[in-house]
Amino acid sequence: MTTDAATAARMVTRLPKDPGPAAWNALLPDPEPPTPLESDRTSDWLVIGAGLAGLAAARRLSRNCPGDTIMVLDAVRVGEGPAGRNSGFMIDLPHDLSSDNYGGDVERDRAQIRANRAAIDFALEAAAEYGLPEEAIIRSGKINAAASPKGLKHNTDYAAHLARLGEAHEMHDAATMRAITGSDYFQGGLFTPGAAMIQPAMFVRGVAAGLTSNRVTVHENSPVIGMQRSGGVWTVRTPRGSVQAPSVVLAVNGHAQSFGYFRHRLMHVFTYASMTRALTEAEVRVLGGVQTWGATPADPLGTTVRRISGLGGDRIVIRNRFTYDPAMTVSDARIESVGRDHDRSFRARFPMLPDVEMEWRWGGRLCLSLNDAPAFGEVDERLFAACCQNGLGTARGTFSGVAAADLATGRDSLFSKHQSATDAPTRLPPEPFMWLGANARIRWGERAAGREL
């Protein structure tokens, strides 16, 4: 992009709607009152979105351009959007949700591992710099939990792929899984040591607070409703103010389409989670196992489980079910319906806790592309997209935000090289064929997951 000619005004066609409460955020003390943008301001850099990608971009920009001012806008409170609603797995290894066992091409997977680990290192450095507690992020590894012979085979196949990659891993038998989880449900597991586990709301709130200075400002409850470039400057409007900035990083994941970019190329998928009330001391004793652990399912469309301990007490999180929803919104009735599936999954795994109910249920937005490609790059004059994380918002979102900042500042790095070398998202089939095909594929995959769901 080289021209500074005025662009047509872009109206943002829809604002985020996140179903259900952000439970991770509800576990934390109330934040300070928000500071919405309520005036006309100028800044050297503007970042739209205060999730993992946006905060990573802002932190990188503050280091690449130490004398510049940086403004971050978010439509909601930090920790209330998708960044505070995920399951908290920052995964370093291949994790392709469309595959049978997460693996893919060896060389492509090696490149993705390097990228994911660079993102985890960046996040850990931020946590250390801002003095975040270990609960916010810890590199503890994770388990692929298998609940059936089919799941065990998925793990065996994935372990063979990891061996080809030269990656450390350890197979757990049923007794080891019982000792870790307290549950007899799992027949085996595949432990890998490189993943980090985060309390997602604690992490993003801590990073946002740590970034804030006389050069970096974060304005919550400030949705962007329109933008235009003229005279070499972007003017970005919110309901009560505006920002003029020469350069913008767009870090809004699937909502890039709401800004008019990547039309007909992004798939909008919801996944769902429920979190129990805090367990009593007696229930903790009955459950047994270790205090904190995380298990992704051996089948990509199975059930993810976390046991957490810290602020908010000892709790269990269940996440399963996916739906393709191009309108980027789902009903309360959907949350209630999926919640019944969560209850069944919880009871099957933890029958020793018959009186434990779910306290919170919610949905989280994913953005995927058909070819697993990010929505990345300079998509307009000095407008850099760091979007479409393909179901790995924690690691890929962080990586994409850093890469966008490096690309925008002309920095040649692992981040910018890796993202710039990726393909663009391919075009989707037209609706309603896409809706019918995607949801049929998801339903078939969930049924095939069997006991893993």
Alpha-carbon dihedral 330, 340, 188, 279, rounded to 10 degrees: 100
90-128 confidence digits (pLDDT tens): 999 987 655 655 667 889 899 999 999 999 999 999 999
Q: What is the DSSP string of 236-259?
A: EE-SS-EEEESEEEE--GGGGGGG
Characterize the bridge pairing of strands 142-146 and 293-297.
Answer: parallel
Read off the pLDDT band of 393 (50, 70, 90).
Answer: confident
403 pLDDT higher than 70:
yes
For 100, half-sphere exposure in the C-beta direction (CA atoms, 13 angstrom radius) is 12
Contact 361, 274 (CB under 8 A): yes
CA distance 142 to 70: 35
pLDDT at residue 387, as a whole number: 98
CATH superfamily assigned to domain 10-452? FAD/NAD(P)-binding domain (3.50.50.60)
Share of the chain above pLDDT 90, in %: 94
Over residues 283-314, the pLDDT tens digits come to 999 999 999 999 999 999 999 999 999 999 99
Higher pLDDT, 3 or 267: 267
Determine whether 331 is exposed, middle or buried from the number of CB atoms within 10 Å of its CB (0-12, 13-18, 19+).
exposed
* pLDDT surpassing 80 at residue 5: no
Q: Report phi then psi at 377, rounded to 5.
A: 120, 180
pLDDT tens-digit map of 240-282 = 999 999 999 999 999 999 999 999 999 999 999 999 999 999 9
Q: At residue 3, does pLDDT exceed 60?
A: no
- Global pTM? 0.96
| Confidence grade of residue 1 (pLDDT, cut at 50, 70, 90) | very low
Average pLDDT, the chain: 95
Q: What is the pLDDT of residues 158-199, one digit of tens each?
A: 999 999 999 999 999 999 999 999 999 999 999 999 999 999
